[in-house]
Chains A and B, each alone.
Chain A
Amino acid sequence: MDNKTLIEKIAFNIIQGRVEAEDEGFDEGYEGQPAVTELVKKAIDTGIDPKNIVIDGLTHAMEIVGDKFEREEYLIPDMLASAECVGIAMDIMSPHLLKAGVKSKGKFIIATVAGDLHDIGKNIVSIMIKGAGYEVIDLGADVPTSAIVQAVKENQASYLGLSALLTTTMWEMKEVINTLKTEGLDHQVKVFIGGAPTSKSFAEQIGADAHCKDAFEAIDALKRKRINSWRK
């Protein structure tokens, strides 16, 4: 298989949403054939430039997936499956990209705030943002404010995503933002918030940079740099 064909196969399997050989894809009949994990490893072993894999394989595939989603041919699970493939491909290629001097689009720390165990929405955002080419550091659920702020500081992260699903825990987001201010980190990091009880007005009230009702709004905000700062 030549390099071009291998990259095309990676892209195809991202579109199919197949992480491993045993996975089914969007279409039937691919079970047992090499998928993204196997193909990316092979590409690296073959010596293909990881930048080419990212540009011609991953990015190209996600553009096609995005188009299919726009046309309602794909639904959220299809999009997530493809994004997960990209995330896993990026994990495999990460050391090689570093060596080649390629940086991610930015570090994105994400967490569900203290007292809240809900993580489905946070996980979806996490997968999608990773799939969009950001380095995601997922701190998990029920994360204390101090641990979130510490992670922002240590990683010099540009973005922080906070999630909450309860009206009682959403106020922890304000604590995180206040602590970031106290620590002098508020100009370094943009804070995105999301979760069922949150809203644009709540984001404004607590001084967050953006409210995102779903992963797509988060990616859109990142992509178009349309983060409205309400912070004084």
Chain B
Amino acid sequence: MIDSFREGVLVKPYTRLDTEQVKWLDQASLNILKDPGIWCYNERAAGLFKTHGAKVWEEKDKHSVCWRVSFPSGLIKEAVSHAPSRFVLGARTPENRLLLDAEVPRVYFGSGAEANIWIEMHMQEFVSADDNGIKCKVPRFEELRGNTTLLGRAARLCERLEHLDFFIRPLNIQDPDITPSNHDVNKFFASLNNMTKHVQAGLTTIDALKDVVRMGEIITGSPEALRENPLFSFIACVFKSPLQIVDDTAEKVFRIVETGLPLVISSSPQGGSSAPIQEPGMVAQINAEILAGITLTQLIRPGFPVLYGSVPVRARMDDLHDLYGCPEFNQYNIDCVQLARFYNIPSYSTAGVGDAKTPGMQATFEKLFTHFYMAMSGAQYIHYAFGLLDRTNSFCPVQAVLDNEQIGKIKHCLRQPKIDPDTIEDTLKTVKKVMASPYRLYARHVRKAMHAGDVSDPYRFEAKGLEDKVLENALNYMDRLEQEPALHLGPEIVDKIFKEVPGILPGLKQAG
């Protein structure tokens, strides 16, 4: 399909469900879609479902009209079978493209969410109250409101994080001049002008779609070039759990599918409030919602490239907020990855988000717990993996740097073993050679593997003495990365974008 793309990591998938359990969940989802079916608040979607054989009837809510839809199993199965198992997510540079293949467990990690808060970290020196000679540096945190400058900074930093494979805007832009109508063009421009990897985001307003697409066509050179190298794609949470298709998001799905640019159909029910908390109930429901969303895309345009997007979370029992970084989160998510594989559709999954408010031990625990487990699942596209804190409410660049290091180690750990007759023969030769040498030391023979990147490095932020300097070292490392030049779009392209795409803040051009 393409010769050049990001390597990601090819894993041997760990499976939680056996084949029979996958089939039971599939059947349970189909049963849900038949009875009780779904509550569809978009007339066009309801009509399309009806045209293709669904049973549709109108129901009046207090404030709006709703169409109840009961899907025959055959309709869902037929539509889902048209979704491609393999497609490319493009990028400004060919080597940064992503090859998604439902049959190949190549795992990519990227950022995600649209946090309102940017957490800036500083180190501050403190003097002991008992002994003025004792000083220590402590991280201090400052909350900033997300804006276009900070989003551009996030993209620029993420460009330099070698284990980040794709960029979903991690920060909401709330500059005084940002309005719903220019929100999308600004967030896409701030991302694309600082990032040569794949960019993905949801749309705030459907009216902005044509401008965003035009921006992509200018960057790639033509409408055809953008479709061939879709350097951005979209996310649509078409379902409001439980089981309700949202009117305006359904409209966005229609319009995005018509552009031919890839789309994630994502659902994020919360176990304990908008979905059952027990594993079979949660997974059967989220799967039903995703299947219905994918069905919609395939009825609009058979063969349209779509990702199976699952973000199942659990409610905390003390306040009913989302609870990430808990065992159930992993269980729900890995089940969804297995279901996506069952349907032969690339999986957009979730890891690296937790409840910790600042970088530190809790954040590391929660992130490692999900980063590792979900990478083992073989999900093709894992989002939320960089920089998020306080669930999805904050983005912290230092945390993104820490996550990068952690994900690098995980990718290394899950690499396929290089054990074959050739490597065994090499090994036997080396053993003989070393045992015949005076010191019987293998160090010299480490070099080939070391320089090929097969030998992992120590933890990048370790301290030498009896101090925990991880955060300070990570901050220093981030500062170094931020000194590196931004990989902006060419000035002619930027000029053309500003000429043809209305609403982009002038400050973004100056920043470029």
With a cutoff of 8 Å between Cβ atoms, the chain B residues found around residue A124 in the complex are 441, 443
Residue B418 at the A interface, CB < 8 A?
no
With a cutoff of 8 Å between Cβ atoms, the chain B residues found around residue A81 in the complex are 443-444, 447
Bound-state CA distance A77–B439 (Å) is: 14
Residue A1 at the B interface, CB < 8 A?
no
Task: Assess the A26–B451 pair: CB atoms within 8 A.
Answer: yes
Bound-state CA distance A127–B434 (Å) is: 14
Interface residues of B in 206-228 (CB under 8 A from A): none
Task: Assess the A24–B441 pair: CB atoms within 8 A.
Answer: no
Residue A143 at the B interface, CB < 8 A?
no
Bound-state CA distance A84–B437 (Å) is: 11
Residue B448 at the A interface, CB < 8 A?
yes
Residue A17 at the B interface, CB < 8 A?
yes
Bound-state CA distance A30–B441 (Å) is: 22
Interface residues of A in 77-93 (CB under 8 A from B): 77-78, 80-81, 84
Bound-state CA distance A78–B444 (Å) is: 7
Binary contact track A11-44/B, C-beta < 8 Å → 1, others 0: 0000001010000101000000000000000000
Residue B511 at the A interface, CB < 8 A?
no
Which one, B438, B440, B443, B448, contacts A80 given CB within 8 A? B443
Residue A120 at the B interface, CB < 8 A?
yes
Residue B431 at the A interface, CB < 8 A?
no
Residue B450 at the A interface, CB < 8 A?
yes
With a cutoff of 8 Å between Cβ atoms, the chain A residues found around residue B444 in the complex are 17, 19, 77, 80-81, 84
Interface residues of B in 433-459 (CB under 8 A from A): 438-441, 443-444, 446-448, 450-451
Which one, B438, B439, B447, contacts A17 given CB within 8 A? B447
With a cutoff of 8 Å between Cβ atoms, the chain B residues found around residue A76 in the complex are 443
Task: Report the minimum CB–CB distance from B498 to chain A (whole Å).
Answer: 43
Task: Assess the A24–B439 pair: CB atoms within 8 A.
Answer: no
Task: Report the minimum CB–CB distance from B479 to chain A (whole Å).
Answer: 19
Bound-state CA distance A26–B441 (Å) is: 17
With a cutoff of 8 Å between Cβ atoms, the chain A residues found around residue B447 in the complex are 17, 24, 26, 77-78, 81
Task: Assess the B448–A24 pair: CB atoms within 8 A.
Answer: yes
Task: Report the minimum CB–CB distance from B77 to chain A (whole Å).
Answer: 52
Interface size on B, residues (CB 8 A): 11
With a cutoff of 8 Å between Cβ atoms, the chain B residues found around residue A126 in the complex are 439
Task: Assess the B441–A123 pair: CB atoms within 8 A.
Answer: yes
Bound-state CA distance A78–B455 (Å) is: 14
Task: Report the minimum CB–CB distance from B64 to chain A (whole Å).
Answer: 64
Task: Assess the A75–B450 pair: CB atoms within 8 A.
Answer: yes
Which one, A19, A24, A77, A138, contacts B443 given CB within 8 A? A77
Task: Assess the B441–A80 pair: CB atoms within 8 A.
Answer: yes
Bound-state CA distance A231–B254 (Å) is: 86
With a cutoff of 8 Å between Cβ atoms, the chain B residues found around residue A19 in the complex are 444
Task: Report the minimum CB–CB distance from B179 to chain A (whole Å).
Answer: 50
Task: Assess the A127–B446 pair: CB atoms within 8 A.
Answer: no
Bound-state CA distance A163–B444 (Å) is: 21
With a cutoff of 8 Å between Cβ atoms, the chain A residues found around residue B439 in the complex are 84, 123, 126-127
With a cutoff of 8 Å between Cβ atoms, the chain A residues found around residue B450 in the complex are 75, 77
Task: Report the minimum CB–CB distance from A3 to chain B (whole Å).
Answer: 28
Task: Report the minimum CB–CB distance from A87 to chain B (whole Å).
Answer: 9
Bound-state CA distance A124–B446 (Å) is: 14
Bound-state CA distance A126–B439 (Å) is: 9
With a cutoff of 8 Å between Cβ atoms, the chain A residues found around residue B446 in the complex are 77
- Nearest B residue to A25 via CB reads B447
Most B CB atoms within 10 A — which of A26, A77, A81, A124?
Answer: A77
Bound-state CA distance A84–B443 (Å) is: 11
With a cutoff of 8 Å between Cβ atoms, the chain A residues found around residue B448 in the complex are 24
With a cutoff of 8 Å between Cβ atoms, the chain B residues found around residue A17 in the complex are 444, 447
With a cutoff of 8 Å between Cβ atoms, the chain A residues found around residue B438 in the complex are 138
Bound-state CA distance A26–B451 (Å) is: 8
Bound-state CA distance A7–B505 (Å) is: 64
Task: Assess the B451–A120 pair: CB atoms within 8 A.
Answer: no
With a cutoff of 8 Å between Cβ atoms, the chain A residues found around residue B451 in the complex are 26
Bound-state CA distance A17–B438 (Å) is: 16
Task: Report the minimum CB–CB distance from A128 to chain B (whole Å).
Answer: 11
Bound-state CA distance A77–B448 (Å) is: 10
With a cutoff of 8 Å between Cβ atoms, the chain A residues found around residue B443 in the complex are 76-77, 80-81, 124
Most A CB atoms within 10 A — which of B440, B443, B450, B451?
Answer: B443
- Nearest A residue to B442 via CB reads A77
Bound-state CA distance A123–B438 (Å) is: 9
- Nearest A residue to B441 via CB reads A123
Task: Report the minimum CB–CB distance from A140 to chain B (whole Å).
Answer: 10
Bound-state CA distance A24–B446 (Å) is: 11
Bound-state CA distance A138–B451 (Å) is: 30
Task: Report the minimum CB–CB distance from A22 to chain B (whole Å).
Answer: 9
The 26 listed contacts between A and B (C-beta, < 8 Å) are: A17-B447, A19-B444, A24-B447, A24-B448, A26-B447, A26-B451, A76-B443, A77-B443, A77-B446, A77-B447, A77-B450, A78-B447, A80-B443, A81-B443, A81-B444, A84-B439, A84-B444, A120-B441, A123-B439, A123-B440, A123-B441, A124-B441, A124-B443, A127-B439, A127-B441, A138-B438
Q: Which residues of B contact A (CB under 8 A)?
A: 438-441, 443-444, 446-448, 450-451
- Further pairs besides A19-B444, A80-B441: 18, Cβ < 8 Å: A17-B447, A24-B447, A26-B447, A75-B450, A76-B443, A77-B443, A77-B444, A77-B446, A78-B447, A80-B444, A81-B444, A81-B447, A84-B439, A84-B444, A123-B439, A126-B439, A127-B441, A138-B438
Q: Which residues of A contact B (CB under 8 A)?
A: 17, 19, 24, 26, 75-78, 80-81, 84, 120, 123-124, 126-127, 138
